Amino acid sequence: MGDHSKYYITGAFILGAVVAVGLQSLQQHGREAAGHQQQQHQIALRRLSKINDLDTLKKNLSDIEIASGNIKEGIEGCIGDTPLIKIKSLSEATGCEILAKAEFLNGAGNSPKDRVALSIIQMAEEKGFLVPHSGDTIYEGTVGSTGISLAAICRARGYKAHICMPNDMATEKSDLLLKLGAEVERVKPAPIVDQNQFVNLARTRAKEHTESKEKPGRGLFADQFENEANWRAHFTSTGPEIYEQTGGVVDAFVSGAGTGGTISGVALFLKSKLPDFKVVLADPQGSGLFNKVKYGVMFDPKEREGTRRRHQVDTIVEGIGINRVTHNFEVGRELIDDAIRVTDEQATGMARWLVEHDGIFVGSSSAVNCVAATKLAKQLGPGHRIVTLLCDSGARHLSKFWANKDVGGAENDVSLDRILAS
C-alpha cells in the first residue's frame, strides 16, 4: 500500500470519528431540548390548573389584552388617532395628494371637538374644578359639535352638561344632545355684545349654578373659544398625528376656524417641524376671519365689534366662521399664511361631489375645507401633498345644510370646475 493510500485511510478514519462524536453530541442536545420543552409544558399545565374557574380565566385574558394595548379605557380611549385618508377624486382631479383626517371617527361625539372637550375636562379635573358624581355641571355655548362631545364625555366621567345654542342650528344636533342627557337651551342668534348671546348665556348659567344653594356641585363654564385647553389639544394630538401619518412629508394644512383651536394648534406644531409648511384658512361667506388673515382687519369700521347688532355670520355653514378674534385663533394667527373664501354654493356642491365620487357623506364645515384644499391644490400645482379635516357626518346637517339637496349618485351630476368657479 502506497504512502498516499495510508494517508487517505487515516484521514477517513479521523473524519468518521469526528462525525460520530458530533452525532452523539447532537442527539444528547436534542434529548436535553426535548426534556426542557417537556418541563416547560408541565409548568404551563400546573399554572393552568390553578385557573379553576371561568371568571379567573377571563380576568387573566383581560389583563393580557389591556397590557398589549388592544382594549381602550372607556369611550375616552376612542378619541384621537383618526385615520388619514386620501380623497381619490380630488387627488386625481388636481394632481396633488389631498389627504383628510377622518375626525368624524372620533369615538365619543364623532368630531374633532372630542379632543377639545376631553382636554377641557381633564385640565379642570387636574386643577380641582371638577369632582365626578358630585353634581358638577359643565356649561357651554356651542353651535352643536362641542356640546355633543361634552355631553358624551360628561356622562362617561360622572358630570352633567348644559348646552346653550342658537335656535337656527340644525335640529338634529339639539335632538342628539337631549338623547345624551344634556340640558339644552336654544336661544335667538345674537352678537357677542348681547348678554343673551348663547356663549354669554352659558357663562351666566354656570355662575348661577355655583351660587345656588339648591343645586348640588358647581357650574363650570367650558369657554371653548378662550380656553387654552382647546388649541393645546390639537398641538399635542392632531398635529403630531398628521406629522407621523405623513412621515413628515406634507406641504400644507387647510382648515376652517370657529374657536380657532384646531388651526392654531396644528400650525404651532407642524410649523416647528417643517419651516416651509403652509397653513391656509378655509372661511365661509359672512365670516370676518378671511379679511383678518388677508388684510389684517376684521371688517368695515361701521361693522366693528360693539356696534354690530344683526346675526354675525350669514351662511348655512355651521361650526366655522366668526366675526371676532378669539384667544385660540390669536395664538396661531401669525402662522396662518393665507385664507380662501368659500361660498355656500361651493360648499353644497362639494358635499354632493364627495358623495357621488367618493362615497363620503359629510357636513358643511368639511365641505368648506375640501373646497379650499382643492383650490389650494390648483394654486400650488401637481405634486404637492395637502392635509385637511373631515369634521363630522352629514347626518347632523340633514335639516339645514343638506335640506332639499337630492343626491342620487348619478354620474357627472356635479362638475368640479363649476364648483370651484361658482
- Secondary structure letter of residue 164 according to DSSP: E
137: left (phi over 0), alpha (psi -120 to 50) or beta: beta
CA contacts within 13 A on the Cβ side of 269: 21
Q: What is the CA radius of gyration of the chain?
A: 31
Rounded to whole angstroms, the Cα distance separating 66 from 64 reads 6
Provide the residue type at 62 as one letter: S
Rounded to whole angstroms, the Cα distance separating 256 from 315 reads 14
How does DSSP assign 235-252, residue by residue? IIIIHHHHHHHTTT---E
Rounded to whole angstroms, the Cα distance separating 297 from 299 reads 6
Look up 113 and say whether it is catalytic: yes
Please, what sign has the CA dihedral across residues 208, 209, 212, 218? negative
Residue 309's nearest CA partner among 197, 143, 185 is 197
CA contacts within 13 A on the Cβ side of 189: 14
Q: Hey, is 184 helix, strand or coil?
A: strand
CB 340 within 8 A of CB 350: no
337: left (phi over 0), alpha (psi -120 to 50) or beta: alpha
Catalytic: which of 101, 113, 160, 292?
113
Rounded to whole angstroms, the Cα distance separating 173 from 184 reads 10
- Cα distances from 78 to residues 72, 114, 153, in angstroms, run 7, 9, 11
Residue 261's nearest CA partner among 296, 237, 226 is 226
Which residues are part of the catalytic machinery? 113
